[in-house]
């Protein structure tokens, strides 16, 4: 009896590939996006350190990851299960002017920043600030958030009379040793307030300097442009790597 058996092993493999293709593509897209998000974090962190002068850890750590797929949830460093359309990076925002997003935003879009609550209090006292904004003194020490320590700032506001009695009683207290022999006073030039200084013993540091005009921020952090370039490079690279690995395992 003559018989010929057709070898269908290659054909069967092709059918399996076709059957697995929708899931393979979906899994490859999710995996490639997750790896691209990791690349984005590294690239954006590097860009911030390049364009900003000694950015604080508070701002750098405010950049978070948003990963696709998986169970919906959030850790201190990332959000998960956001879906492929929401994968990427974001800056933390929790209202007010002190969140990482609020700090970085003027450098991304340019224009005027929002006035700080302390500036609004000082503006209520024309003799201190008037309609001006303030910038931190060049040599004044910065707190962990990259700005003036909150307790020290509140002590200054109380000292110059920019806080109500209720606000003064509720303000955060600095350490006793830090408050010893410390006082605050208004700097004036020809009778015009130009800033506020701190005197600690014989040491005097300029805490705040009044600006003559509201100067708009320049666009210097190309957050979206840098991100788009990184995605254009990383996403196809990771997708091709993952899909080829899946096919070889069939």
Q: Which tens digit of pLDDT belongs to each residue from 190-240?
A: 777 777 888 888 888 888 777 766 667 778 899 999 999 999 999 999 999
Report domain extents, the chain.
Answer: 11-99+218-248, 115-210
pLDDT for 41:
93
Closest CA to 173 of 157, 154, 158: 154
pLDDT(241) > 70: yes
pLDDT for 208:
78
Can you tell me the distance from the alpha carbon of 32 to that of 36, in angstroms, rounded to the nearest whole number? Answer: 6
Q: Which two tokens stand for residue 135?
A: 């910038």
Q: Which tens digit of pLDDT belongs to each residue from 117-134?
A: 656 666 555 455 555 667
Q: Which two tokens stand for residue 18?
A: 């076709």
The phi and psi torsions of 182 (rounded to 5 degrees) equal: -110, 135
Q: Which residue would you say has higher pLDDT here, 238 or 84?
A: 238
pLDDT tier for residue 4 given thresholds of 50, 70 and 90: very low
pLDDT(88) > 80: yes
pLDDT for 15:
59
Residues whose CB is less than 8 angstroms from the CB of residue 107 and which lie 6 or more positions away in sequence, other chains included: 51, 52, 217, 218, 219, 220, 221
Percent of the chain residues past pLDDT 70, beyond the cut: 69
Percent of the chain residues past pLDDT 90, beyond the cut: 18
Q: Which two tokens stand for residue 105?
A: 């935003």
Question: What are the b/e assignments for 96-106, b being 16+ CB within 10 Å?
Answer: eeebbbbbbbb
- For residue 124, what are the CA distances in angstroms to 34, 120, 130, 225? 49, 6, 7, 40
């Amino acid at each position: 009896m003559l018989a010929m058996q057709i070898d269908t092993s290659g054909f069967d493999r092709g059918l399996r590939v076709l059957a697995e293709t929708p899931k393979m593509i979906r899994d490859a897209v999710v995996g490639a996006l997750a790896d691209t998000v990791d690349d984005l974090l590294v690239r954006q962190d590097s860009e911030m350190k390049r364009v900003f002068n000694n950015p604080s850890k508070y701002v750098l750590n405010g950049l978070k990851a948003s990963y696709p797929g998986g169970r919906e949830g959030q850790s201190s460093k990332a959000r998960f299960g956001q879906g492929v359309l929401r994968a990427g990076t974001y800056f933390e925002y929790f209202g007010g002017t002190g969140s990482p997003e609020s700090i970085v935003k003027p450098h991304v879009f340019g224009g005027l920043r929002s006035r700080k609550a302390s500036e609004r209090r000082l503006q209520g006292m024309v003799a201190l600030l008037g309609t001006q904004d303030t910038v931190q003194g060049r040599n004044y020490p910065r707190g962990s958030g990259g700005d003036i320590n909150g307790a020290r700032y509140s002590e200054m506001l109380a000292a110059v009379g920019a806080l109500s009695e209720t606000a003064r009683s509720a303000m955060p207290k600095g350490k006793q040793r830090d408050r010893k022999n410390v006082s605050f006073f208004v700097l004036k030039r020809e009778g015009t307030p130009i800033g506020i200084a701190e005197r600690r013993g014989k040491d005097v540091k300029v805490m705040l300097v009044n600006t003559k005009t509201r100067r708009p921020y320049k666009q210097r952090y190309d957050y979206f442009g840098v991100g788009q370039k990184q995605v254009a490079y990383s996403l196809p690279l990771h997708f091709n790597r993952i899909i080829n690995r899946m096919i070889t395992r069939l």
